[in-house]
Amino acid sequence: MRIITWNINSVRLRMPLVKKLTEEAAPDILCLQETKTPDEHFPVDDLRALGYEHQHFQGMKSYNGVAILSKYPLESKEIYTRVGREDCRHIAARVAHELGKFEVHNLYIPAGGDEPDVAANDKFAHKLDFVDEMSAWFKDRYSDDQRLVAVGDFNIAPYEHDVWSHKQLLKVVSHTPPETDRLAGMLASLNWTDVARHFVPEDEKTYTWWSYRNRDWKKSNRGRRLDHVWVTPPLKDNLSAYDVLTHTRDWEKPSDHVPVIVDFQF
């Protein structure tokens, strides 16, 4: 069972890359963020043609938007409102697999703007509130013996080696203590496993995003690990592989995020 999460930054513009990815990596479940597409324009038929018959998505014009595309049936499809906004950042579904069901949550946490100051920047306040609410919500609704997978663009790089320079990014939104502390709290509250760090040693740099604003993303390599896959304890022993498809950052008209793969052996 292979799950891929990818912030696609416009699904309509990048359908050719989605096709390329599915041919190359053949995910059973593909979770997309920043689809930037209202539901009536979502490329349902094109994705079905790629083998993703089972789809759950919520989008809006220009911003945000999340999608779960699956080769397996999806049950109990849910759409969640976070901090009072219907802004297409959290959907979930149960995946029916022959060796057991699990619930997949696809998350797009707000980026939070530029200024890491809740008084001066509403977007940063929204981001912190979003994580607070969602963290409490998961803890209230579930227990750590349930089979959950949470994926998506969390817009937070939690650890020192999740960014190119810990020191230089401590006051940059995505790596500030108010954000990383909150994410650590959420991780601990349901005993989630951060799958990337289950496979990649904590002292090894690993990124999933490189800004468009660098002349040469590979040469400067100023990346951050913003995209995540978390699993609850019952799924931990089923983890078999983790990979980041860094080469896709060099595809023509790339997303600024690259796909993250997690494989399960059931």
Select from 75-83, 106-114, 142-150, 232-240 the region that touches DNA (CB under 7 A): 106-114
CB of 95 to DNA, least distance (A): 27
Q: How far apart are CA 135 and CA 132, in angstroms?
A: 5
Q: Which of 84, 119, 212, 216 binds DNA (CB under 7 A)?
A: 212
Smaller CB distance to DNA: residue 7 or 180? Answer: 7
How many residues sit close enough to DNA to count as binding (CB under 7 A)?
19
38-67 mask for DNA (x: CB under 7 A)? -----------------------xxxx---
Q: C-alpha dihedral over 74, 244, 66, 216, to 10 degrees?
A: -160
Which CB, 16 or 73, lies closer to DNA? 16
112 touches DNA by CB under 7 A: yes
| Interface region with DNA, contact rule CB under 7 A, candidates 5-13, 94-102, 129-137, 139-147 | 5-13
Supply 32's token pair.
Answer: 């997309």
Q: Which is nearer to DNA, 79 or 111 (CB)?
A: 111
Coil, helix or strand at residue 90: strand
Per-residue contact flags (x/-) with DNA for residues 225 to 264, judged by CB under 7 A: ----------------------------x-----------
> Hunting for tokens 């069901």 — which residue is that?
101
CB of 229 to DNA, least distance (A): 19
User: In the window 130-159, what residues touch DNA (CB under 7 A)?
Assistant: none
Helical residues (DSSP H) of 142-223, grouped into ranges: 166-169, 177-189, 195-199, 217-220
Work out how close the CB of 153 gets to DNA at its nearest, in angstroms, rounded to a whole number. Answer: 8
Cβ-Cβ contacts under 8 Å for 76 (sequence gap 6 or more): 92, 93, 94, 103
Q: How far is it, in rounded angstroms, from Cα 225 to Cα 206?
A: 6
Q: Does 10 bind DNA (CB under 7 A)?
A: yes
- Name, in order, each residue with C-beta under 8 angstroms of 46's C-beta and a sequence gap of 6 or more: 15, 19
Q: Does residue number 206 form part of the binding site for DNA (CB under 7 A)? A: no
Cβ neighbors of 216 (< 8 A, separation 6 or more) are: none
Please, what is the minimum distance in Å from the beta carbon of residue 188 to DNA? 26
- Gap between the Cα atoms of 73 and 64, Å rounded: 25
CB of 108 to DNA, least distance (A): 9
Q: Is the Cβ of residue 198 or residue 222 nearer to DNA in the bound state? A: 222
DSSP 44-70: HHHHHHTT--EEEEE--SSS--EEEEE
Q: Is the separation of the CB atoms in 247 and 20 below 8 Å?
A: no
Binding site for DNA (CB under 7 A): 9-10, 12-13, 34, 36, 61-64, 110-113, 123, 212-213, 215, 253
